[in-house]
Amino acid sequence: MLRIIDARTGEPVEAAPVRRGLTRVEAHADGPGLTALRVLLVADLLVRALELGGTPVWAVLTGAPREAELRAAAAALGVRPFEDSRDVGAGLGEAQVIHVAVRGAGGPAAEGVRIEVAPVLAASDPDPDPAVLRLALLTRPRGTAVSLDTATRTEAHDSLLRWRRAVAGWARSPSRPVPADLRRRLREAWEDDLDLPGVLRVLRQVEEAGPELPDGARFETYAYADRLLGLDLTHDLGAPR
């Protein structure tokens, strides 16, 4: 069960308090910059986590200046489309409303849960590969500011390249189920306040595990986690060695 820290109270709450009840995830973005893009990314990850738990989700974008530019950048980052709040009316009787906004920014406080996202501090231009930028943003808790310096971008680039090559190699072995312990640890991480760095730590442990973990199980574990991460870790399948 996914639990999220409500920024208004500092207390954890159930992201989907009603089983199979509709949850509205509303992203409040202030412009086309990297911090606004991070807000949409966090909202996208929240939607994915809820859907993996069987919760129907309604994703909405609210009040974004230069909206077309922001939507294009989000799509390049692998963020799935949000509906426009101006077109959706008063609501669909949702059981939960979760607002995702920049830390310290204004926004709705009367209803639902509030998730706050720390800013992105870009030391230089972001990496031209959107998947590298996505991974760089995933490596820090959402409440921690991200500095996209050379070291952070290089680490994300190298990890993504290494994982995609590894996944392509593991795919050549017979498939094996995701081990129950690994599945449990992945879900415990993302259901604990959407702990994406925790999910990445589990993947690193899978990468470094000994031969007792079959390559087919490694492949399935990475593919399973990527349903949440959205990093296209199977990108190199079928590529020449």
Structural domains in the chain plus CATH codes: 3-117 (no CATH), 153-229 (1.20.120)
- Which of 86-105 are b and which e, b meaning 16 or more Cβ less than 10 Å from the residue's Cβ? eeeeeeeebebbbbbbbeee
CA distances from 35 to 74, 144, 228 (A): 11, 12, 21
Residue 192 in 3-state DSSP?
Answer: strand
Q: Over the stretch 95-106, which tens digit does the pLDDT of each residue have?
A: 889 999 998 776
Confidence of residue 62 (pLDDT cuts 50, 70, 90): confident
Given a cut of 80, whether residue 130 has pLDDT beyond it is yes
Instruction: Look at strands 3-6 and 11-14 and give their pairing.
Output: antiparallel
CA distances from 91 to 39, 60, 98, 209, 216 (A): 22, 11, 13, 47, 44
Q: What would the two tokens of residue 20 be?
A: 């199979």
Confidence at residue 65, expressed as pLDDT on a 0 to 100 scale: 77
Confidence at residue 173, expressed as pLDDT on a 0 to 100 scale: 95
Q: Over the stretch 144-186, which tens digit does the pLDDT of each residue have?
A: 999 988 899 999 999 999 999 999 999 999 999 999 999 999 9
22 neighbors 95 (Cβ within 8 angstroms): yes
Q: Over the stretch 70-95, which tens digit does the pLDDT of each residue have?
A: 999 999 999 999 998 765 555 667 78
CA distance linking residue 163 with residue 239, whole number of Å:
14
Q: Give percent above pLDDT 90 in the chain.
A: 72
One-letter amino acid of 97 = V
Tell me how crowded residue 80 is: count the other CB atoms within 10 A of its CB.
13
Helix, strand, coil: what percent of the chain each, to 5?
Answer: 40, 15, 40
CA distance linking residue 241 with residue 233, whole number of Å:
16
Given a cut of 60, whether residue 108 has pLDDT beyond it is no
Q: Which residue has better confidence, 45 or 121? A: 45
Q: Which residue is listed with tokens 């990475």?
A: 222
Q: Average pLDDT in the 16-43 region?
A: 89
Confidence at residue 64, expressed as pLDDT on a 0 to 100 scale: 73
Partners of residue 29 on adjacent β-strands: none
SS (H, E, C) 29-83: CCCCCHHHHHHHHHHHHHHHHHHHCCCCEEEEEECCCCHHHHHHHHHHCCCCCCE
